[in-house]
């Protein structure tokens, strides 16, 4: 999403220089030569960040700040000041400015500040979007499923959400661990506080520690100012530590201290900070197995696994696939401005019979691709080649060992009916049974 930054300064060289430093494919930079022009632009169009000089003709920076607080309270304001007017900048922060910079502007410092502001803004907006998606009762509006496996998940979430217990989520990539974590947060007493997430496996150790614990000015190269970490941002709320299994032993020791004592220091700092955070950890590998191999701290494991919830892979909840397909088509049709198509029976059979190594995320991508590239109904030909090669167009089922004969019979009849567009006579011929036998089985299994 492209962000809009407005620079207000009566010095043309300053305006043009800062625009050159800040403009990028993700940032649209607007200019105002005085305070009145800045107010006109903010009144006309949404602005994510206003960077304004304190001393300007017509309307100075303090008056601009106060006016922006009235007409666009969601706009973040940073003030620019000379060495002799730092007290005015501090006063501006008391009146709602996010931060200040001293002229001449250090471009690296400016970019770090802007990156942090826009990153925090994106996180806040993401929280708002997550809350919109969460059902008022249980937070499951965007977690689709009626299968027995998902009902077990929902039951455990309803039970654990109102408590303070840490939760350990297990599931393959794409099974919806983040949505489940958000549902737990939304239905907890912490729902009004931040829900913060971080992928521990995507960051090297030094950067992971800085992101989670924050850092002090001068802690390392380019640390030109203090930066709070995710644990500070999540104070009073919930933090999701995804891919916790990929963390290094040195990090695990520090995380254990936070869980045990609620204390930590920023990188490069000596002041002990306290935080009250509920931790939800997620992994696609069993931490108990890693403990047995000496790859994960046992004491940390037991701190994290107060409650464990296993998210089933999509291949184990094939009955949910038609529900998910309908949900994604509804959502994606609106997004792409296309009419919602129907899914041909052979295409639905292929979707239900595929093994989905990427789980729900892969299913969504397949549906989006089919929707975008197809005019009219989605047919077998609309689907990715790997789905068609999985015998999705044939009568083919993966029935796991342990399935009862009755359950297997029901799944086979249901798949055959889908394959034959509900034509019972044809289905009976394919299955090699009489029509009366098929009708009796349909009634017995409530497949009407």
Per DSSP, the residues of 309-368 read EEPPPGGG-GGGHHHHHHHHHHHHHHHHT-PPPPB-HHHHHHHHHS--TTHHHHHHHHHH
Name the average pLDDT for the chain.
Answer: 86
Greatest C-alpha distance within the chain: 95
From CA 66, how far away is CA 79, in angstroms rounded? 12
Cα end-to-end distance, the chain, whole Å = 46
Q: What is residue 132's predicted lDDT score, i.e. its pLDDT?
A: 53
Rounded to 5°, the CA angle 236-241-246 comes to: 155
pLDDT digits (tens, 9 = 90+) for 69-113: 888 888 999 999 876 667 887 788 878 888 888 888 889 889 888
From CA 276, how far away is CA 285, in angstroms rounded? 27
| CATH architecture, domain 405-444 | Orthogonal Bundle (1.10)
**Residues forming beta bridges with residue 198, ordered by sequence position:** 241
Phi, psi torsion values for 271, nearest 5 degrees: -75, 130
Q: What is residue 133's predicted lDDT score, i.e. its pLDDT?
A: 53
**Residues forming beta bridges with residue 263, ordered by sequence position:** 274
CATH number, domain 3-125, options 3.40.50.2300, 3.55.50.30, 3.90.1170.50, 2.120.10.30: 3.40.50.2300
**Residues forming beta bridges with residue 401, ordered by sequence position:** none
Element (H, E) at 273: strand 272-274
Cis peptide before 104 (omega within 30 of 0): yes
Residue ranges of the chain whose pLDDT lies below 70: 83-85, 124, 126-142, 389-400, 419, 421, 448
Helices and strands per DSSP (H, E), number in the chain: 19, 12
Q: What is residue 325's predicted lDDT score, i.e. its pLDDT?
A: 92
Tell me the HSE value of 183 on the side-chain side, using a 13 A CA sphere: 24
Q: What is residue 279's predicted lDDT score, i.e. its pLDDT?
A: 97
Q: What is residue 81's predicted lDDT score, i.e. its pLDDT?
A: 86
Structure-token pair, residue 18: 């800062």
Strands 263-265 and 272-274 come out as antiparallel
Contacts for 306 with CB less than 8 Å, ≥ 6 apart: 165, 166, 167, 168
315-388 has which fold? Helicase, Ruva Protein; domain 3 (1.10.8)
| Common-topology check for domains 3-125 and 405-444 | no
Which CATH number does 134-310 carry?
A: 3.40.50.300
Between the alpha carbon of residue 422 and those of residues 134, 375, 386, 447, the distances in Å are 35, 24, 26, 10
Element (H, E) at 442: helix 435-444
Q: What is residue 258's predicted lDDT score, i.e. its pLDDT?
A: 94
Q: What is residue 215's predicted lDDT score, i.e. its pLDDT?
A: 85
49 three-state secondary structure:
strand
Rounded to 5°, the CA angle 404-405-409 comes to: 120
Q: Where are the domains of the chain?
A: 3-125, 134-310, 315-388, 405-444
| Prediction pTM value | 0.59
209 three-state secondary structure:
helix
**Residues forming beta bridges with residue 30, ordered by sequence position:** 6
Q: Is 436 exposed, middle or buried (0-12, 13-18, 19+ CB in 10 A)?
A: exposed
pLDDT digits (tens, 9 = 90+) for 118-161: 887 787 676 656 555 544 444 555 578 888 889 899 999 999 99
Q: What is residue 447's predicted lDDT score, i.e. its pLDDT?
A: 78
């Amino acid at each position: 999403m492209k962000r809009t930054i407005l620079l207000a300064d009566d010095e043309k060289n300053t305006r043009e220089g800062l625009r050159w430093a800040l403009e990028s494919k993700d940032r649209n930079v607007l200019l105002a030569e005085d305070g009145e022009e800045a107010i006109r632009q903010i009144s006309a169009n949404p602005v994510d960040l206003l960077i304004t000089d304190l001393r300007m003709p017509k309307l100075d920076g303090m008056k601009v700040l106060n006016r922006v607080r009235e007409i666009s309270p969601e706009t973040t304001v940073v003030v620019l000041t000379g060495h002799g007017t730092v007290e005015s900048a501090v006063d501006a922060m008391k009146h709602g400015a996010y931060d200040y910079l001293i002229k001449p502007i250090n471009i690296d410092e400016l970019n770090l500040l802007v990156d942090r502001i826009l990153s925090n803004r994106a996180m806040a907006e993401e929280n708002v979007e997550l809350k919109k998606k969460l059902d008022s009762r249980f937070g499951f509006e965007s977690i689709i499923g009626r299968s027995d496996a998902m009902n077990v998940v929902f039951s455990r979430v309803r039970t654990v959400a109102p408590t303070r217990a840490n939760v350990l989520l297990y599931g393959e990539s794409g099974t919806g661990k983040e949505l489940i974590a958000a549902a737990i947060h939304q239905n907890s007493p912490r729902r009004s506080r931040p829900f913060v997430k971080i992928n521990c496996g995507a960051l090297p150790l030094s950067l992971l520690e800085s992101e989670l614990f924050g850092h002090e000015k001068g802690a390392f190269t380019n640390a030109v100012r203090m930066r709070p970490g995710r644990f500070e941002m999540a104070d009073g709320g919930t933090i999701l530590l995804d891919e916790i299994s990929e963390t290094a032993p040195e990090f695990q020791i520090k995380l254990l201290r936070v869980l045990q004592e609620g204390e930590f220091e920023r990188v490069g700092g000596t002041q002990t900070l306290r935080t009250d955070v509920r931790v939800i950890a997620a992994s696609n590998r069993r931490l108990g197995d890693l403990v047995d191999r000496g790859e994960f701290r046992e004491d940390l494991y037991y701190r994290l696994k107060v409650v464990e919830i296993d998210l089933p892979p999509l291949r184990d909840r094939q009955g949910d696939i038609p529900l998910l397909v309908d949900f994604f088509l509804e959502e994606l049709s609106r997004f792409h401005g296309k009419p919602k198509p129907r899914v041909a029976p052979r295409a639905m059979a292929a979707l239900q019979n595929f093994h989905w190594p990427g789980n729900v995320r892969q299913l969504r991508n397949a549906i989006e691709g089919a929707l975008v590239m197809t005019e009219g109904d989605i047919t077998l030909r609309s689907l990715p080649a790997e789905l068609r090669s999985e015998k999705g167009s044939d009568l083919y089922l993966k029935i796991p060992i342990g399935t009862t004969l009755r359950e297997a019979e029901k799944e086979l009849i249901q798949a055959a009916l889908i394959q034959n567009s509900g034509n019972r006579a044809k289905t009976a011929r394919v299955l090699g049974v009489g029509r009366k036998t098929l009708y009796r089985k349909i009634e017995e299994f409530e497949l009407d």
